Amino acid sequence: MSNIIVVGCGRVGSQLAIMLSNYDNNVCVIDRNPEAFASLGRDFNGSVFVGAGFDEEVLVKAGIEECDFVAAVTQSDNANLMVVEIARRLYDVPHAFARLYNTSHEHAYLQLGIDYVCGTALVAEELFSKIMSGLGDHIATFGDYEVLQFALDLTSLGKTSIRVGEIEKNHDIRICAFVRSDGSTSSIPSENSVLFQGDLVLACARHDMVRNLAKYMKS
């Protein structure tokens, strides 16, 4: 279970919060407008706080000191930038993401090294995949699928190697390519190809299956 703060409870924020909460994460939603929380529905099992997401007092009450992920998805690029910078620089939140509305602000986001999602369609789904993958690098959203790159971690399985078919089995996941951890070999694998601890993997997964890849991702 991860501790997640979502700042902004509009269409994207509420959708993202519900998706994350449905996967048993501890989700807190912050919004200036208390009426916005109605979009979360009666079954939402997270918490809510009224206030500005860049207000440190509000963030502390929302649990930012123990937070694993912050997603700033208000309709203000400046507010989203401030939230992410506070989360990263003052509270060392490991993963902080922002929604970018106006592409003219993209340069500022890039200069500050902010991980962001731009656009109006599938924003919640892309942020959801970023958070659920957690340790991997999100490459692209392609319809109902996400493309991810990550270093393979098999320690939780007590293994040093694994066949591609074992990862793909029973999951809507495909391993598209890999590079050995020492850079010696790269290949497009078959189901019988063997992957080793630390190999760099490129995978494609349906967005609701991304969580099944998380156990293979190395920090």
- In this structure, are 153 and 180 located in the same domain? yes
- In this structure, are 153 and 120 located in the same domain? no
pLDDT given for residue 92 in this prediction: 93
- In this structure, are 7 and 112 located in the same domain? yes
The residue among 134, 162, 182 that closes a domain is: 134
**DSSP symbols for the chain:** --EEEEE--SHHHHHHHHHHHTTT-EEEEEES-GGGGGGG-TT--SEEEES-TT-HHHHHHHTGGG-SEEEE--S-HHHHHHHHHHHHHTT--SEEEEEE--GGGHHHHHHTT-EEEESSSSHHHHHHHHHHH-SSEEEEEETTEEEEEEEB--GGGT-SEEEHHHHHTTSSEEEEEEE-TTSS-EE---TT-EEETT-EEEEEEEGGGGGGGGGGB--
What domain count does the chain have?
Answer: 2
- What integer is the mean pLDDT of 188-212? 86
Does 40 have pLDDT greater than 80? yes
- In this structure, are 31 and 107 located in the same domain? yes
For 172-190, the pLDDT digits (tens) are: 789 999 999 998 888 999 9
Q: 181 is in which domain, residue-wise?
A: 141-216
- In this structure, are 26 and 65 located in the same domain? yes
The residue among 134, 154, 188 that closes a domain is: 134
- In this structure, are 147 and 123 located in the same domain? no
Q: Is the pTM of this model over 0.85?
A: no
Of 69 and 22, more confident: 69
Closest CA to 1 of 91, 68, 97: 68
- What integer is the mean pLDDT of 51-62? 94
- In this structure, are 38 and 117 located in the same domain? yes
- In this structure, are 59 and 160 located in the same domain? no
For 68-87, the pLDDT digits (tens) are: 999 999 999 999 999 999 99
pLDDT given for residue 135 in this prediction: 45
Does 9 have pLDDT greater than 90? yes
Cβ-based neighbours of 211, under 8 Å, separated by 6 or more? 23, 132
- In this structure, are 172 and 196 located in the same domain? yes
pLDDT given for residue 149 in this prediction: 83
- In this structure, are 99 and 198 located in the same domain? no
- In this structure, are 114 and 50 located in the same domain? yes
Lowest mean pLDDT among 7-11, 156-160, 175-179: 156-160
Q: What is the domain-level CATH number for residue 78?
A: 3.40.50.720
For 108-148, the pLDDT digits (tens) are: 888 888 888 886 656 777 787 767 665 456 666 676 777 88
The residue among 68, 102, 134 that closes a domain is: 134
- In this structure, are 70 and 126 located in the same domain? yes
Percent of the chain with pLDDT over 90: 53
